[in-house]
Structure 1
Amino acid sequence: MICKRCKRLSDDDLEYCPYCGKSFYDDSERPVDNVEKESEYFNEGVTGHNSGSNGTSDTPENDKIPINIFGGSNDRREYGFQYQPRPTSRPSIARSVFSAALYFFFYLFINILVTAVFLSSAMIDSMYDIAEEYYKKNSDVYGEWNEETFAKIYSEHSFEIITEAYKDALSSIDISLVTVVYSAATLIALIIIFAIRRKRFSAEVWLRRVKNEAILLVLPLGVSLQFLIVFILNLIPLPEKIIVEYNKLYSLLGNSSRILEIISVAIAAPIIEEVVFRGLIYTRLRRAMSAPIAAGLSAAIFALAHGQIIAVIYAFIMGLILCFLMERFRSLWAPIILHVGFNAANYLPFLHEDSSPTEIMITIAISFVIFTASAFFILRSKSESDYNEAKYTKNGSGDGSDGTAI
């Protein structure tokens, strides 16, 4: 990859230029606390470059060139060669898995905490109403209705009251509001955590600007994928019990207003899920594993987090596709856009319960054409790494040695 500032070639998997410290993907600089570490790595790479068995340089001029990791004025190509930095060592698999698990459980903790707050509030209101129903049936026994009467009834029928209150709370809780709140809470908490650690949140989750115009095709790809997956799932002979459970689970979204439901499903959920499962979990696994293995593990975690068997099936497929887009565009924006399009397609007025078989087949055929065309052009387009390298070398070769840097 060619650095925009010093025009030098570095490994594709590096975040910052080992020469000048500039990010390959945006205008940010390498964090200050990493400069000393990168400087040591840089010096080791220079002493090992073009060296003999005794570690001495074969090129006398090589030792005379001052090392400047903060600026790009010392262009080593003036001396007739292009410096290739030694690849950085990968973290251990155990450390990467631990880091990914830590972020997942943090996300789960915020989710459970916010849900518990909403459930507790709904249960308290419901418990009071249930106790009052007990009182109305036996008003001659308990006398006047007051707080002492409520406490007495609750002590006598606590198990029944709590059980009924929990069922009522589950059926009446506003899932959309809960999703919006825990999504915002998780996002804010993560930004604060990275700020305390003096790390740039956008860089940590790959929230980078995308130069590849093919990203415009990601939205129609996500919308068409929704219709195709639903069509395929309808062809699978699933037990009726599983289908009933799935419909019952997602019927809870109906407790909200339509606008809040759309914000929850099409905006809040896709953003926070991509930040956590692709931006944090996948990128941490990717540091120690190959892309296919990291994608498979993160997709499995993403699928299991959805719980219900039908959701697990399509979430795993979605997880693999989202990881592919993450690698293709080298940015979290690609999976976010696809996820938004996928979820938002639920609210498009193309299909409904009264749709005829002809309408369904036409919709599926159009979706297949859009999906195939979008996928074809995305695959034919250059990856973000190739795009960056071609842009900063005149001949587009990306090696930086025989092409003139722009």
Structure 2
Amino acid sequence: MPSFNKAIKRTTLIELLIIILCFYSVYMVASFYGFNVDMEWMYVAIIAYILIKSRKYSAETNQNIFSKIEFRYVFLIVIVNVFFSYGMLYLANSINIESFLSFNLIPSLKNLAFIGGLIGTVLISPISEEIIFRGIILNRLKLVVPVNVAILISSLCFGVLHGYGSIVSAFVFGLCMCILYIKTDNILVPVAAHIMNNFFAETLFYLDKDAILFSNDLIMITITVLAIISLYLILNSLKIEWKFLDKK
């Protein structure tokens, strides 16, 4: 979907802000008259805008989204980030469980029905967040600051908006997604990785009905060790990729 990539690169922060303000205006008016409008539809509106805008740009020859990078590399990035995120959740949970459970600035798509929430978390959220943070914010920042600074700023924004229990892990995940995007110049690569990440996270969440992941000492120790190993692998990979970014 090359035209989709073109549309994202040509979307400005002003356009994004207008979409958000328009949606919030509709939300406030609807709330005033007693109508309930889910905030999650803002994500849908952003995706729809990019899809409509992409129709203005001619499509090029289709190619496999993993033609510039191996799928197993992307898969490994996802797996180590999942383990690392659980390690950070354990840490946040041990520090302040109330804040960990309540603070999250990004709209939660779990307010919808189960199927709708699953679709929102696994599809809509990854697509919209990659469009916003990697597709628009990162590309716009690259025009005014060095690429590595742009990556740090966009990833920090991504992390902060994910709330107390996920700031660090989301920031690290954002760094990885930025690098995937820059290396491939195809937003669909980080989108695919983000979808896999959320799918694994949601699968673990729904399978863990008895909260064993947060109550069984052996499992928690095992995942903590895997989280530490994952952090080492992530930092080592980021160190290598940062040298690549310096040449951009």
Report the TM-score, using the length of structure 2 for normalisation: 0.68
The Cα of 1:296 is off from its aligned counterpart by 1.5
The Cα of 1:332 is off from its aligned counterpart by 1.1
Alignment partner of 1:239 is 2:99: no
Cα deviation code 1:147-188 (max 9, x no counterpart): xxxxxxxxxxxxxxxxxxxxxx6xxx7x5xx52x33332222
Amino acid at match of 2:189: A
The match for 2:114 is: 258
Larger radius of gyration: 1
Report 1:46-57 matches (<5 A).
Answer: none
Alignment partner of 1:276 is 2:152: no
Alignment partner of 1:336 is 2:191: yes
Amino acid at match of 1:266: V
1:348 alignment partner, SS class: helix
The Cα of 1:218 is off from its aligned counterpart by 1.6
| C-alpha contact 1:285 1:294 (8 A) present in aligned 2 | yes
The Cα of 1:293 is off from its aligned counterpart by 0.9
Amino acid at match of 1:354: I
> In structure 2, do the counterparts of structure 1 residues 194 and 254 end up closer, same or farther at CA, with 3 Å as the change threshold?
closer
> In structure 2, do the counterparts of structure 1 residues 319 and 113 end up closer, same or farther at CA, with 3 Å as the change threshold?
farther
The Cα of 1:295 is off from its aligned counterpart by 0.6
Structure 2 residue corresponding to 1:317, chosen from 172, 175, 189: 172
The Cα of 1:220 is off from its aligned counterpart by 4.4
Which structure has greater helix proportion?
2
Report 1:175-324 matches (<5 A).
Answer: 178-179=39-40, 181-193=41-53, 195=55, 198-199=56-57, 209-236=65-92, 238-246=95-103, 254-306=110-162, 308-324=163-179
Amino acid at match of 1:185: A
Work out which structure has the larger RCO, using CA pairs closer than 8 Å and 6 or more positions apart in sequence. 2
Q: CA RMSD in A?
A: 4.1
Alignment partner of 1:360 is 2:198: no
CA distance in 2, matches of 1:107, 1:216: 36
CA distance in 2, matches of 1:208, 1:292: 27
The Cα of 1:193 is off from its aligned counterpart by 4.0
Report the TM-score, using the length of structure 1 for normalisation: 0.45
| C-alpha contact 1:107 1:276 (8 A) present in aligned 2 | no
> In structure 2, do the counterparts of structure 1 residues 103 and 335 end up closer, same or farther at CA, with 3 Å as the change threshold?
farther
| C-alpha contact 1:186 1:272 (8 A) present in aligned 2 | yes
> In structure 2, do the counterparts of structure 1 residues 344 and 282 end up closer, same or farther at CA, with 3 Å as the change threshold?
same
> In structure 2, do the counterparts of structure 1 residues 330 and 194 end up closer, same or farther at CA, with 3 Å as the change threshold?
closer
CA distance in 2, matches of 1:326, 1:110: 28
The Cα of 1:107 is off from its aligned counterpart by 4.5
Structure 2 residue corresponding to 1:348, chosen from 181, 203, 222: 203
CA distance in 2, matches of 1:336, 1:347: 16
Alignment partner of 1:102 is 2:10: no
Structure 1: give runs of 5+ residues left out of the alignment: 1-24, 31-95, 125-168, 384-406
Amino acid at match of 1:328: K
Structure 2: give runs of 5+ residues left out of the alignment: none
| C-alpha contact 1:222 1:340 (8 A) present in aligned 2 | no
2:212 alignment partner, SS class: coil
